[in-house]
Structure 1
């Protein structure tokens, strides 16, 4: 029976490292893949961690010293040296399980999503402040590599990317709603201009949207533009701020009937839509806060 050989295995980011005892190169691939979370049966390439030499021969594998460190690569992953910092002394910490962003190898550091992943690792709530381009970059990042950079399981990284995609979809819906609102305002301005004396200001303030947005209707307490949005035909609740939604819901059906001049059924439908939109936004905030709390809890557990 072949003697069992103690070795070390790591993934291509060097963020995961494990010790194994195996009798052969094939067994190293099987056990190493299992420890590193790679799919069973998926082809991997074994290289020396320090210089990237490909190890394919069993005899060569047996000739290597005990506790040699190997790197397992799969799909399009490539070996690259550890990036040196602090005058070339960073190599002393390369065997650590958790590496700082500055010690991640050059190939990964060049990936545009890595800096964004580091932001998320520190605070998942930073998603809210990211641009659509940044969100798309994270969505397009390789899931397994993103999971490794965040310290997540692959399933958790998949869920995160799905959440980011939903954020992108929502922003696109909001943009389309805004465009529809602008078209509505232009149409309303044109219609009012045909029906009324051009020298008289319009009731809805369609002459100058930016100015009217600052005018508050003394009878209703709402800004003129808010009233125009409420009277819009296409999902006005999606175009209101959270503060305006709260104000509409708080006023109630009877008060909003007088403000809008509508019947009870139509006003009630609008308030229900506003309340549902407000609830959805509050749930999003709570979800982000929950994610942040869980992340901080996980970080405290890892540090302890």
Structure 2
């Protein structure tokens, strides 16, 4: 039986917000519509309240941390970011932020790494779902403040940061291995082409430059950093967060062709890589959750067995 997940729902104006506990994405839609006063059976779209990522997959829903806030949208409603601190005065808040060694005050809640630390505090398996930028933010966070935010001893926070750095290093090693393989394959193909048609490689190179120069659609809905990674980085799927991967896969090949300005073959290859990376991460999370559930079940059975054996020994 699927575990029930505590979460929050709101409407697109964020004026109504409710907490509920549901076992599945479908139940979230049903109960969310009921709480928000939507008509029964009315089609709704579920998105993450903080960044608008569309949530359609049950496995992805289960991998999200507890108390994630969702937004339910009608057919003609669209997600928009909530009110944030004015950019002209944000530097004042950053400069005035003071963090004590044994507590995290309200001003520190605006720090990116603090929100990530809260996710880890709820579920350490969320490391798998984080982007490289998120992992690096936690690695660079002051160790005493990270320990305070997570309720750890400072030594344990240091160990956590070392683990996160190890995750980054492994991703970099995987990326370098892929790059070496791609360079080898590209060199082999170029050598074959030079033997057959000497002028063809230079034409292909010119085509690549022209494709890279295509302007990105400003109405794509992607963050500029995500687009920069997709267009300018090798093995971009290893650099994106799970939410960003989900967004790319959900858009589909045709939409991403327009966003990136690439041809069908190149775009399809990117989507296949993103989908494979997303599937791998979700499988890792499910494996961790399965191990955790089995461990808890073994503990319960052990306690029950000990409880049965103790009275029997007493009667002898």
Fold similarity call, TM over 0.5: no
Scaled to the shorter chain, the TM-score interval is: 0.3 to 0.5
Structure exhibiting the larger radius of gyration computed from Cα positions = 1
Q: Which has the higher contact order (CA 8 A, sep 6+)?
A: 2
With the length of structure 1 as denominator, give the TM-score of the two structures.
0.33
With the length of structure 2 as denominator, give the TM-score of the two structures.
0.32
